[in-house]
Structure 1
Amino acid sequence: MQSLHGQSLTTRSARVLLVSYGSVEGARLWLEQTGCTFPMLLDPQRTIYRAFGLGSSYAKVLKFDFLLQMAECKVAGRKLPDMGGDFLLDQEGKVLLSHPSQHPLDRPAMADLLAAMPGKP
């Protein structure tokens, strides 16, 4: 089931593609747990991630809310989470909106995404 935000995007003829560098199993589990119906591309080498200038930042993830997650990563022998981002491209690939995250929960407002899209709401 799509959220109201997802319906707003599809009404505008937008296509949403999630990009993850995680495992197939992790992606499948996330899609099941969230009920997300958008397609997901797995990019384990982070080629797309680097193409959009995204990277790791210890300072950005060192927030109190994320200390537990950081400890869990260390115990499990995993890297700290990378900073993601949200990008809106037109049909020709021109970037209409670029929002590199400043911290793990930093996402643009749906109103900003819709305002950056061509066409009427």
Structure 2
Amino acid sequence: MLNMQVMVVSFGSVEGAQLWLEQTGCTFEMMLDSQRKVYRSFGLGSSFSKVLKFGCLMQLSEFSAADRDFPDFPHRLLEDIYQLGGDFLLDETGKVLLSHPSKNPLDRPSLKDVLQAAEDNTSSYEDKNEQKP
């Protein structure tokens, strides 16, 4: 059985983070990284061209056409709209098991890939413990 904890990392203000959590209904724990140390340690940055890439804008427009709601942020709380995120899976020691820096705001690894990386780590952990006397 896999034992995992999901955490959202944001670089914004406390007020913006709370508003985002409320509007998205996200129940995961959130850490604020106002200095973006975590972002930099994972090699993440900002990109005007990747965020505003035509294909990404088309996909977002399809969401709008399907009447999907997006978080409604006051302009004063918008910080770096070009910041690219990512998805990372770490074990309890901090070893990176999966690294997926996003190529655009909609780029995410599949759930299958995340679970496979976790499962691979669980298997190697169990193998190491079975070898110990």
Question: What amino acid sits opposite 2:97 in the alignment?
Answer: L
1:45 is matched with 35
Do the aligned partners of 2:89 and 2:98 also contact (CA within 8 Å) in 1? yes
Size of the aligned set, in residue pairs, is: 104
Q: Distance in 1 between matches of 2:13 and 2:28?
A: 17
Once the two structures are superposed, residues 34-85 of structure 1 have per-residue CA deviations (whole angstroms, 9 ceiling, x without a partner) of 221111000111011001110112221222318x9xxxxxx97954421111
- Runs of 4 or more above 3 Å deviation: 75-80
Q: Distance in 2 between matches of 1:78 and 1:116?
A: 32
Instruction: Tell me if 1:13 matches 2:3.
Output: yes
Q: Which moved more, 1:26-35 or 1:98-107?
A: 26-35
Instruction: Tell me if 1:119 matches 2:110.
Output: no
With the length of structure 2 as denominator, give the TM-score of the two structures: 0.69
Question: Which of structures 1 and 2 has the bigger CA Rg?
Answer: 2
Q: Give the unaligned 5+ runs of structure 2.
A: 62-74, 124-133
Q: Over the residues paired in the alignment, what is the CA RMSD in angstroms?
A: 2.5
Q: Give the unaligned 5+ runs of structure 1.
A: 1-10, 69-74
Could you say if the C-alpha distance between residues 35 and 80 of structure 1 is closer, same or farther in structure 2, counting changes exceeding 3 Å?
A: closer
